[in-house]
Structure 1
Amino acid sequence: MLYKTLAKWLFISSIALFVTACVITQSNRDSMSKQEQANLYLQMGVRYLEMDMLKIAKGHLENAEDIDSGNASVQNILGVLHERLNESEEAAYHYQNAMRLDSDDASIKNNYGRFLCEQGDYKEGLELLKQALVMPLNNKKWFAYTNMGLCEAKYGEQAQAEYNFRQALRVNKNYAPSLFEMQKISYRAGKYMSARAFLERYLAVSKHNAQTLWYAVQTERALGNKQLTEEYRAKLFSLFPGSKEAQQLNTAVK
């Protein structure tokens, strides 16, 4: 676990160094085309977005838009940014711009389709995700499969959701979001050994969050493993004391 933590820290640090280098080279921007400048700001915006430094990411992405407002990728990532900022109207505006500029981009359809599902437009959202899935140049189909599954699960299509999560894992066996969804599905179906197995696979590629720990507690309790139940419970209270999952466990004990 310590190695994984350090590896992640080093990865983030390497991104920060790369971004710093990009900023320094801006002194040469007079020799760059407008498109090159916009793409550079876009790259920096994406990296800060990945690091959850949303304010800095927003500045870079807005610079990219000022230089090249007709860049579909810039509009797409601005949609993601505003979605992260819980600014739904702004997110929709940028996703729609991205679709208008390049309706054949699988990433744009995937992001906008997922967004529409989360906003309650199940039919149109799912249709866009299906379109993204079958696009010939889409080499990351697990994103669309997973987003389709999330959309279907939200609207009660549990069997179809499970099918799509399994399809996502068929093309990318290590995709953490689908592994987590299968952990939940297995637990709810009473398949506790399967839930444990999906958690183990999840932890091989990602780290615990409050939800994975809550399901881990419930799973080990159902399996009668008191030691692991208490270990997961303690970890949940230690790492995520203010989470609703910790509060639920605390209430259950009382």
Structure 2
Amino acid sequence: MPNRETIWIIGASDGIGAALARAWADKGARLILSARSEGALQDLAESLGPDHVALPLDVADRSSLVAAAETIASIGPLDRVVHLAAMYDPGKVAEVDPDTAAKIVTVNLTGTFHISQIAPPLLREGGQLALCGSVAGYIGLPQGQIYSATKAGVMNLVQSLRAELSGSRDVRLISPGFVDTRLTQRNNFTMPAMVTPEVAARAIIDGLNSRRFEVHFPRRFTYALKLLSVLPYWAALPLTRRLTQ
């Protein structure tokens, strides 16, 4: 197939990652699918057809990423890497278990750092590296706890990487709002502008095919949070405090 893309999706076993895999497979891409859930990952790869590879790994374990990279290097240069894997545990800061908080930092922030070092050499010149932040990283919100803090860190890291790799790799930031996945199903509050993983996948593909650095959606929600994040603290903090009432 001419111009067929080879894409590595990390965090592909369910949710947005699985929806992205199905959408890109329908477009003829060749996929390398990674996640910790080996069984679900293998089932997804088999459902998409014989050309797709299931490659289990743990982003918190750098050695497993290095081993995966060695396997991918033998396949050939990649057109895109999309990193979506994350850990989430909702609740107020005072309620978060410290060990769980440490794991969230390791998976979300340190894991993204590992990908930022390991993935670029696997990409062809001008290939795309898309890393997943969150609108939760725009501003500290109630019950955002350590997850939001890690996503703020990821967004900062991606901005740095965009500058450092300019001209050689196409670095992008993905900032989803609320998507109906197993992670958000743990929330006990009303989630505005919720979208399905399929809608999220279409938004991501359209955004990554555009020239925009940040792919954020749904915009009726993300623009409101962007506005909140640029307000001075004297205006923003009273508004965020109201969200706890």
Q: Which has the higher strand share?
A: 2
Q: TM-score, normalised by structure 1?
A: 0.31
Structure showing greater relative contact order (alpha-carbon pairs closer than 8 Å, 6 or more residues apart) = 2
Higher Cα radius of gyration: 1
Q: Which has the higher helix share?
A: 1
Q: TM-score, normalised by structure 2?
A: 0.32
